[in-house]
Structure 1
Amino acid sequence: MASDHSSHNQAKFVLANNDLEQQETMEVETKDLDYSKRSQWLRAAVLGANDGLVSTASLMMGVGAVRQDIKVMILTGFAGLVAGACSMAIGEFVSVYSQLDIEVAQMKRDSERENGRDRDEEEDEKEKESLPNPIHAAAASALAFSVGAIVPLLAASFIREYKVRIGVVFGAVSFALVVFGWLGAVLGKAPTLRSCVRVLVGGWLAMAITFGLTKLIGSSGL
C-alpha cells in the first residue's frame, strides 16, 4: 500500500511538473506572439515618423542651401509635410485594402469548403474583427508622418538668423532621430545603442546628400 501511495504521489508530482512546463511554454509563446504583433504596428509607426522627420528636414535643408529666406524654408517644410502625409496615407490604404481583399477571399473559400456545415458565429465575428482596417491604417500612417515632420518645422519657425536656424534644425532633428531609434528599440526589445546609431547616421546622410546636391546645382546656375 505504501508503495502504491508513493507511486501515486510521484505520478501527481510528474503531472504537476508537466502542467507547469506547459503553462510556462504557453506564457513564452504568448509573449513572443505579443512582441510579434507589437512589432508590426511599431515598425509602421516608427518608420512613418522617421520618414516624416528625415524627408521634411532634408527638403528644408536642401532649400536652405540656396535660399536663406525663412518663409521659403517654412513653406517648403509645410508642403513636404502635407504631401508626405497624403502619400503615406494613400499608399497604406491601398496596401491594406489589397491585404483585406485577399483575406476576405480566403474566408469565402474556407466557408465554401465546409459545404454548408454550421459555423460558429463567435468564430466568424472574431475573424471579421481581426481583418485589417484600411482607414485606420491610413490615418495612423499619416499621423505618424506628421508627428515626425513637425519637428524641423517647429525648430525653424522662430529663428531669423540663417546659420543659427540651420544649426537648430540639425540639432532638433538629430535629437528626434535618437529618440525614435531608442523608442523603437525599447518597445521592440532590440539593442538600443545600435538602433539609435543606425537611425541617426541614416538621417544625417539624407540631410547631407540633399543639402550638398542642392547646393551644387544651385551654384552651377542651372
Structure 2
Amino acid sequence: MGRQSGGARNLHDEGHVADRLNWLRAAVLGANDGIVSTAGLLVGVASASSSSSALIVAGIAGISSGALSMAVGEYVSVSAQSDSEKAMLELERRELAEIPEQECDEMAHLLRQLGMSSVTARRAAEEIHQGDALPAHAQLELGVDPEATSSPFEAAWASCLAFTIGGLVPMTAALLAPAHLVVPVVMGGVVLALLLTGALSAKLGKAPVPPAMLRLVAGGLLAMVITFGIGRLFGTTLG
C-alpha cells in the first residue's frame, strides 16, 4: 500500500513539473516576442531619426503596449480554455453519476486501446470505478488533469513580465549605444538574446538546440531588416 501511494505521489509530482515546464516555455516565448517586436520598432525609428528622445518614447510605448496586449491575449485565451475544461469535467462528472455502467465500459475500452487485454482492462476499469473515477476519465478521455487548472491571471502577468524583460534588452542596448551605432548594437544585443532564448526553449522542450537558435535568430534579424528598410524609406521620404 505504501509503495502504491508513493507511486501516485511521484506521478503527481511529475504532473506539477510538466505544468512548470509549460509556464517556462510560455515565458520564453513571451520574452522572445518582447525582444523581436521592441527591437524591430527601435531599429525602424533609429533608421529614420537620430533623436534619443524618439528612441525612448518608441521603446516605452512598444514595451508597454506589447506587454499589455500579451497580458490581455493570454487572459482571454486561458480563460476560454479554462471554461472549456470546466464544462467538459462537469459533463463527465454528470455522466459518471447518471450512467456509471456505460462509463465503466468506456474506461475498459480506453484501457484496451492502451494495450491491456480485455480481461485486464475490464478488471482495471471496475476497480477504478469503485472510487472516484473522474480523474482517470478526465485524463484518458478528455486529456485534462482536474488538479492542474489553468489560471488566467497567472498567465496574464507571466506573459506581461516576460515580454517586458525581453523588450528591455534592445531598449537598453539602444540607450547605451552611440547615436551612429544604435542599429548594429541593437542587432548584436538581439542576436545574443535570441541565441539564449532559443537554447533555453530547446532544452526545456528536449529538442535539438542549434535549429531552435537558428530559427529565432533568423526570424528576429528578418523582422529588424524589414523595419529598418521601412524606417529608411519613410525617413528619407519625410525628410
With the shorter chain as reference, the TM-score category is: 0.7 to 0.9
**Greater RCO (Cα-Cα under 8 Å, separation 6 or more):** 2
TM-score normalised to structure 2 length? 0.71
Shift of 1:69: 0.7
Over residues 105-139 of structure 1, what are the superposed CA-to-partner deviations in whole Å (9 max), with x where a residue is unaligned?
A: 1121122223378974996xx96541111000111
User: Are 2:84 and 1:102 aligned?
Assistant: yes
User: 2:156 is matched with which residue: 138, 150, 154?
Assistant: 138
1:149 CA drift (Å) = 0.3
Matching of residues 83-94 of structure 1 within 5 Å: 83-94=65-76
Is the alpha carbon distance of 1:127 and 1:39 closer, same or farther for their aligned partners in structure 2, counting shifts above 3 Å? closer
Residue aligning to 1:179: 196
Q: Distance in 2 between matches of 1:121 and 1:39?
A: 27
Pairwise CA distance, 1:165:
2.5
Matching of residue 169 in structure 1 with residue 186 in structure 2: yes
Counterparts of 1:132 and 1:39, CA distance in 2? 14
Q: Distance in 1 between matches of 2:40 and 2:217?
A: 13
d(CA) in 2 for partners of 1:154, 1:171: 12
User: Residue 77 of structure 1: which of 53, 59, 64 is its match?
Assistant: 59
Which residue of 44, 54, 78 maps to 2:26?
A: 44
Shift of 1:163: 1.7
Unaligned runs of 5+ in 2: 1-6, 101-129, 136-143
1:32-71 alignment runs, 5 A limit:
40-71=22-53
The CA distance in 1 between the partners of 2:160 and 2:147, in whole Å, is 23
CA 1:202–1:183: 2 relative to 1, 3 Å: same
Kept in 2: contact 1:38–1:188 (CA 8 A): no
Measured on the aligned residues, the alpha-carbon RMSD in Å equals 3.2
Structure 1 residues 51-84: Cα deviation after superposition (integer angstroms, max 9, x where no partner):
0000001000101111101111121011100000
Q: Larger radius of gyration, structure 1 or 2?
A: 1
Distance in 2 of aligned mates of 1:104 and 1:128: 9
Q: Mean alpha-carbon deviation: is it higher for 71-80 or for 84-93? A: 71-80
User: Matches of 2:145 and 2:21 in 1, distance apart?
Assistant: 21
Cα deviation for residue 217 of structure 1 reads: 2.2
Instruction: Give the alignment's TM-score, normalised by structure 1.
Output: 0.76
1:185-218 Cα deviation digits (max 9, x unpaired): 1222111111111111110000000110121122
Shift in Å, 1:158: 3.1
Distance 1:189 1:80, change over 3 A: same
Name the aligned partner's letter for residue 110 of structure 1: E
Question: Identity over the aligned pairs, expressed in percent?
Answer: 41
Of 89-98 and 147-156, more deviation after overlay is shown by: 147-156
CA contact (8 A) 1:42 1:188 kept: no
Q: Judging changes above 3 Å, is the alpha-carbon distance between structure 1 residues 127 and 165 closer, same or farther for their aligned structure 2 residues?
A: closer
Deviates more, 1:163-172 or 1:198-207: 163-172
SS in 1 for 2:77: helix
1:149 paired with 2:167, answer yes
Structure 1 residue corresponding to 2:216, chosen from 196, 199, 203: 199
How many equivalent residue pairs?
193
AA aligned opposite 1:218: G
Gaps of 5+ in 1: 1-22
